[in-house]
Amino acid sequence: MTASLAVSIKGVLAIDGRFCLLRNARNEWELPGGRPEPDEEPQAACVREIAEELGLDAEISHILDSWRYRVLPHRHVLIVTYACRPLAGVRPRTSDEHVEYGLFAVAEIDALVMPAGYKASIRRYLASPPRG
């Protein structure tokens, strides 16, 4: 059986120095984001997904990383992450797509149940935060 490869666009954003993550039904923490629509640019998909999942307006600064994640033995996802900056002082909220959101200090990230690629993207964000 050939493995399929989906694409998911994710945003790394910090609010008051803490990283915004979402807990999914598998009890894993993840970055906000999701699949782009058929004619949607990756950056637009990231902004849309952050708005849908967190109720936040955000802007993209720059691409951080891309990596492949094996969700199931024959289901792979290409993850593309962007450094993002939240706009306006709105507090995040959780959509029906996730169990909860959390704001985490850098020191808390390594202990979370979360794919290693997301943790690496957060480290890349720290090395190259949003510009502008």
Domain at 109, CATH number: 3.90.79.10
The yes-or-no verdict on residue 30 having pLDDT over 70 is yes
For the chain, percent of residues with pLDDT exceeding 70: 95
Question: Cα–Cα distance between 34 and 28 in angstroms, integer?
Answer: 15
Helix, strand or coil, per DSSP, at residue 33: strand
Range of the domain at 71: 4-127
Of 111 and 74, the structure prediction assigns the larger pLDDT to 111
Assess if residue 100 is contained within a domain: yes
Instruction: State how far the Cα of 11 lies from the Cα of 17, in Å rounded to an integer.
Output: 15
Out of 43-47, 71-75, 81-85, which region has the weakest mean confidence (pLDDT)? Answer: 71-75
pLDDT band at 4 (very low <50, low <70, confident <90, very high): low
pTM of the model: 0.91
55: left (phi over 0), alpha (psi -120 to 50) or beta: left
Q: Enumerate the H helices of 5-115 as residue ranges.
A: 42-54, 106-109
Task: With respect to residue 49, please indicate whether it lies within any of the assigned structural domains.
Answer: yes
Structure tokens that stand for 42 in this block: 């990756």
**50 phi-psi bin (left φ>0, alpha ψ -120 to 50, beta other):** alpha
Is 42:36 a contact under the CB 8 Å cutoff? Answer: yes
Q: Looking at per-residue confidence, does 108 or 89 come out higher?
A: 108
Taking the chain, what is the end-to-end CA distance rounded to the nearest angstrom?
A: 46
| Residue with tokens 């998909």, as numbered in its chain | 45
Domains held by the chain: number: 1
Judged against a pLDDT cut of 60, whether residue 3 lies above it is answered with no
In this predicted structure, what is the pLDDT of residue 132? 65
Residue 132 lies in a domain: no
Mean pLDDT of 101-109: 96
pLDDT band at residue 73 under the 50/70/90 scheme: confident
* pLDDT of 33 strictly over 70: yes
Question: Residue 114 carries which side chain, given as an amino acid letter?
Answer: M
In the prediction, which pLDDT does 96 show? 78
In a domain, 101, yes or no: yes
Q: For residues 111 and 126, what is the distance between their CA atoms, to the nearest angstrom?
A: 17
**Pairwise pLDDT comparison (94 vs 7), residue with the higher score:** 7
